[in-house]
Amino acid sequence: MTELLGFGREDVDRISNDSESPDWIKEKRATAWQAYENLPMPTLRDEMWKYTDLSTLNIKNTRTTEASKYSAVEKFESFPEEAVKLLSDEAVQLEENGGMCKPGLLIQHDSQVTFTDVEKELTAKGVIFCSMSDAVRNHTDLVRKHFMEKVVPVGEDKFSSLNAALWNGGIFLYVPKGIEIKMPFKSYILMTDGGKALFHHSLIVLEEGAHVTYIEQCRSEDYATDSLNSSVAEVVVKEGASLDYITLQNWGNNVVDISTRKAVVERDASLNWMVGTLGGKVTRSAYETRLIGQGSSTKTRGFFLASDRQHHDFWGLLSHEAPNTTADLLYKGVLTGKSRSVFRGLIKISEVAQLTDSYLTNNNILLSDEARADSVPTLEINANDVKASHGATVGNLDKEEIFYLMSRGLTKSSAEKLIIYGFFRPVLKSIDSEILREHIYGFIDKKLGA
């Protein structure tokens, strides 16, 4: 078998030789590279990769880049028009807010952060929202405690190790004790060409009683050659804090995305994931939540709309490691063309996690003969005083529902669209931002060819 990826030790060295990089980071990169080299590349024989064949991917020639073709700017308006194009909805929003990016906005072109703006008052209160590479230099103590330690330790798996060796993008969000912010922190990762390999590593730490929302979006145009994106995020939600974490992946049709996001949720804290997978060629996204404190909770709402030859592979872990914890995961998808989806979910309840409630649901609609949906919703229960259930369905659009709507004067395609909107509604209604919802609906319309 030929190699899937073409990275070498020299790529690690090149990033490490950046004089501004602290020594402990250089060490971590070296250890991670070693782990990456020692770990076998997952194949279809690995249970967790059973339905996603990496050997067919054509990403061997993707290359990391340190600098973007766009230079960093002070003001959002200073980006060249071409660079703003992907962010038209954000531009509208900024205009409405009189040019203010409250509470914080961070834009990355490829691996370089080209724009950062954080509300001054929040910075004064100790809130940090900056690029990961700035954070390891300027906020060493805060970062070092969590960075690649307990949430996603170095050497955990092949791709997160590669990410740990080669990362140079990503954000750091730190919210001190008791701070509550309604408006979302936002970050964009934009890819500007084909043939690239982007590695982001993000860290989000919420101190006790902090409440924030973070929206992360990936976007790019369609390019001729395939690219690789790898995002790893580590999330720590401390006692009584809550985080809403929204990710929308909307890459062009040439991007292979292999990403992992993991969170540790402490006592009485909560974490809500909102996951949207729209673009990309092959997407593998892992979301793992460990409820380690009594009374902690997590909710996941996810959706995807796959077309053509898109392949979406989702893995969600709800790990109950303390009593009185609750989790609820709902993942809904529509497939057209020759697309394929994989849903794998696991509710894991440890011996100590009594009085736990946990739910896992996956619904899929197949719109074409050649689409395929695989679903593996699993349970591992080691405590008895719990309520746990999961459900999965695969089917097509209800002919009677379409007939009913058509008898009310709708065309077939608009009837179908309406039903699909309804199907996604339980997921999309959890998005507060109207502009973001509109953006998603616009995307769904485009994909359904309406």
Partner 1 sequence: MSLPTTDIGTEEYKYGFSDDVKPEIKFEKGLSRQTVEDISNIKNEPGWMTETRLKAYEIFLEKPMPEWGADLSDIDFDDIIYFVRASDRKMTNWDDVPAEIKETFEKLGIPESERKFLAGAEAQYDSESVYGALQGEWEKQGVIFVDTDTALREHEKLLRKYFGSVVPATDNKLAALNTAVWSGGSFLYIPKGVRVGLPLQAYFRINTQNMGQFERTMIIADEGSNVQYIEGCTAPTYTTNSLHSAVVEIICKKDSRVRYTTLQNWSGNVYNLVTKRAQAYENATMEWIDANLGSKVTMKYPSVYLMERGAKADVISIAFANTGQHQDVGSKVVHLAPYTTSKILSKSISKGKGRSTYRGLVKIHEGMEGCKSNVNCDALLLDEASATDTYPYIEIEDPTAAIEHEATVSKLSDEQIFYLQQRGVPEDEARNMIINGFIEPFTKLLPLEYAVEMNRLIELQMEGSVG
CB of 298 to partner 1, least distance (A): 18
Q: Which of 370, 403, 441, 445 binds partner 1 (CB under 8 A)?
A: 370
CB of 53 to partner 1, least distance (A): 14
By CB under 8 A, tell whether 396 contacts partner 1.
Answer: yes
CB of 157 to partner 1, least distance (A): 18
By CB under 8 A, tell whether 368 contacts partner 1.
Answer: yes
By CB under 8 A, tell whether 374 contacts partner 1.
Answer: yes
Site for partner 1 in 11-70 (CB under 8 A): 47
Site size with partner 1, rule: CB under 8 A: 35
DSSP secondary structure letter of residue 40: P
Tell me how far apart the alpha carbons of residues 122 and 380 are, in angstroms, rounded to a whole number. Answer: 42
If the CB atoms of residues 25 and 346 are measured against partner 1, the closer one turns out to be 346
Q: Is the dihedral of CA 13, 18, 19, 24 positive or negative?
A: negative
Q: In 97-218, which residue ranges form alpha helices assigned H by DSSP? A: 120-124, 132-138, 140-144, 158-166
Tell me how far apart the alpha carbons of residues 72 and 297 are, in angstroms, rounded to a whole number. Answer: 39
By CB under 8 A, tell whether 364 contacts partner 1.
Answer: yes
Single out the segment in contact with partner 1 by CB under 8 A; choices: 23-31, 290-298, 391-399, 400-408. 391-399
Single out the segment in contact with partner 1 by CB under 8 A; choices: 66-74, 315-323, 369-377, 426-434. 369-377
Tell me how far apart the alpha carbons of residues 264 and 152 are, in angstroms, rounded to a whole number. Answer: 10
For residues 327 and 298, the answer to whether their CB atoms sit within 8 Å is yes
For residues 395 and 366, the answer to whether their CB atoms sit within 8 Å is yes
Q: In 73-186, which residue ranges form alpha helices assigned H by DSSP? A: 81-85, 88-96, 120-124, 132-138, 140-144, 158-166
DSSP 3-state helix, strand, coil percentages of the chain (rounded to 5)? Answer: 25, 40, 35
If the CB atoms of residues 178 and 395 are measured against partner 1, the closer one turns out to be 395
CB of 46 to partner 1, least distance (A): 11
CB of 385 to partner 1, least distance (A): 5
Tell me how far apart the alpha carbons of residues 293 and 446 are, in angstroms, rounded to a whole number. Answer: 43
Tell me how far apart the alpha carbons of residues 258 and 160 are, in angstroms, rounded to a whole number. Answer: 9
Furthest C-alpha separation in the chain:
70
Q: Which of 118, 353, 386, 428 binds partner 1 (CB under 8 A)?
A: 386
Q: Which of 72, 379, 406, 418 binds partner 1 (CB under 8 A)?
A: 379
By CB under 8 A, tell whether 83 contacts partner 1.
Answer: no
If the CB atoms of residues 260 and 375 are measured against partner 1, the closer one turns out to be 375
Single out the segment in contact with partner 1 by CB under 8 A; choices: 174-182, 216-224, 310-318, 362-370. 362-370
Query: Which positions lie near partner 1, rule CB under 8 A?
Result: 47, 351, 354, 364, 366-396
